[in-house]
C-alpha cells in the first residue's frame, strides 16, 4: 500500500496508514471497502477477515475512550475484539500516480491528464485532483451520458453554465468542492466531483463553469473494487475482495 498510495501524499489533516492492529500478525483474508460501517464490519467478522483496507479512515478523529456508547467507538471495539486490523490510504490514494482521480479521469476519456495541484515530490501525476482534455469538445448532455455509462450510475446532479461545451475538465473525487477555484484558475470549463455545497454550486454557475456531482459513493467506490483486484494480483496466496454488502446510503425517490 505504501508503494501504491504513499502516506506522504495524504493531506495534513488526514489520518492514514495502519489505524487498528498489530503489524506482526499474518494476513490471509483482506476486504476492501469505501467506508467502515456496521454492515461492512459484520461482513468482515462473518468472513473471518484479518485486514480491512478502507478508503475512509476509521477512526478518523481521536477517541478518548473505547465503549459501545457511540457508533464509531463501538465499531472500533468490535474490530479489536475480532482481531481485525484496519488500514486507510484515503487522500494518499486520491492523489497517487495511479490513484482514484487518475483512474476517474481515464474513465471519463480525458487525455493529457495531470495533477490539478502538483505534489512537491516532482512526480508528474502525484498530486491532488486531476485535469485533462477531451479528444473533442462535447455538449454537457453528451459528456454526462458517457460518464454515467462508464461509471454504471443512473443519475447525477449538474450545474449547466450557459450551455458551454465541455473540453477542459477538472476532477476531484469525494467532497471536492474546495477545488473549484483551482479548476477555474487553471482554465477548466467543467468540474467533476462527488459532492459540493449549495454555495459552491452557485459559485460555479456565477463563474461560468459547468459542474457535475456524481455522488460521493459513485465517485470513489469503483476504485475500491479495482484496488481489490490489484491487491489480489500482488498477493496471489491471499484471499482479497471488495465488500459485497456496501451500498450508497443515498438514493433517489
Average pLDDT score over residue span 202-221: 95
With a cut of 80, say whether residue 187 has pLDDT above it.
Answer: yes
Backbone angles phi, psi at 213, to 5 degrees: -105, 110
The least confident of 32-41, 123-132, 143-152 is 123-132
Q: Tell me what pLDDT residue 164 has.
A: 85
* pLDDT confidence bin for 25, thresholds 50/70/90: very high
With a cut of 90, say whether residue 86 has pLDDT above it.
Answer: yes
Q: Tell me what pLDDT residue 140 has.
A: 95
Class of domain 17-88+221-242: alpha beta
Q: Tell me what pLDDT residue 30 has.
A: 97
What percentage of the chain reaches a pLDDT higher than 90? Answer: 88
Look over the chain and give the mean of its residue pLDDT values, rounded to a whole number. Answer: 93
Which residue has better confidence, 161 or 105?
105
Q: Tell me what pLDDT residue 161 has.
A: 79
With a cut of 90, say whether residue 122 has pLDDT above it.
Answer: no
Third-level CATH fold of 94-214: 3.40.1390
Q: Tell me what pLDDT residue 183 has.
A: 96
CA atoms within 13 A on the CB side of 184: 16
Task: List the chain domain ranges.
Answer: 17-88+221-242, 94-214
Distance CA 111, CA 132 (A): 5
Distance CA 185, CA 65 (A): 44
CA atoms within 13 A on the CB side of 65: 5
Q: Tell me what pLDDT residue 192 has.
A: 97
Residue 104: how many other CB atoms lie within 10 Å? 28
* pLDDT confidence bin for 236, thresholds 50/70/90: confident
* The two domains 17-88+221-242 and 94-214 share their CATH topology (first three levels equal): yes
- Cβ atoms of 213 and 157 within 8 Å: the answer is yes
**With left for phi above 0 and alpha for psi between -120 and 50, is residue 54 left, alpha or beta?**
beta
The three state secondary structure string of 104-151 is HHHHCCCEEEEEEEECCCCCCCCEEEEEEEEEEEECHHHHHHHHHHHH
Q: Tell me what pLDDT residue 118 has.
A: 87
Average pLDDT score over residue span 10-38: 95
Q: Tell me what pLDDT residue 124 has.
A: 65
Q: Tell me what pLDDT residue 251 has.
A: 86
Residue pointed to by grid coordinates 454492515: 39
Q: Tell me what pLDDT residue 169 has.
A: 97
Amino acid at each position: 500500500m505504501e508503494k501504491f498510495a504513499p502516506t506522504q501524499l495524504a493531506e495534513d489533516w488526514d489520518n492514514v496508514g495502519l489505524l487498528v492492529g498489530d503489524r506482526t500478525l499474518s494476513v490471509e483474508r483482506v476486504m476492501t471497502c469505501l467506508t467502515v460501517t456496521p454492515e461492512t464490519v459484520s461482513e468482515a467478522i462473518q468472513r473471518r477477515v484479518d485486514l480491512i483496507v478502507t478508503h475512509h479512515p476509521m477512526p478518523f478523529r481521536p477517541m478518548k475512550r473505547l465503549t459501545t456508547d457511540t457508533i464509531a467507538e463501538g465499531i472500533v471495539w468490535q474490530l479489536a475484539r475480532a482481531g481485525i486490523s484496519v488500514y486507510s490510504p484515503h487522500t494518499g490514494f486520491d492523489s497517487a500516480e495511479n490513484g482514484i482521480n487518475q483512474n476517474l479521469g481515464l474513465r471519463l476519456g480525458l487525455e493529457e491528464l495531470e495533477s490539478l495541484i502538483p505534489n512537491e515530490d516532482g512526480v508528474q501525476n502525484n498530486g491532488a485532483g486531476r485535469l485533462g482534455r477531451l479528444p473533442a469538445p462535447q455538449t454537457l448532455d453528451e459528456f454526462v451520458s458517457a460518464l454515467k455509462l462508464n461509471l454504471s450510475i443512473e443519475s447525477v446532479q449538474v450545474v449547466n453554465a450557459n450551455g458551454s461545451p465541455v473540453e477542459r475538465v477538472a476532477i476531484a473525487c469525494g467532497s471536492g468542492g474546495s477545488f473549484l477555484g483551482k479548476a477555474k484558475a487553471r482554465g477548466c470549463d467543467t468540474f467533476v466531483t462527488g459532492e459540493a455545497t449549495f454555495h459552491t454550486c452557485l459559485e460555479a454557475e456565477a463563474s461560468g463553469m459547468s459542474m457535475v456531482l456524481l455522488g460521493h459513493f459513485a465517485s470513489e467506490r469503483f476504485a475500491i473494487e479495482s484496488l481489490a483486484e490489484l491487491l489480489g494480483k500482488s498477493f496471489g496466496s491471499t484471499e482479497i475482495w471488495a465488500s459485497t454488502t456496501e451500498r450508497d446510503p443515498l438514493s433517489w425517490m
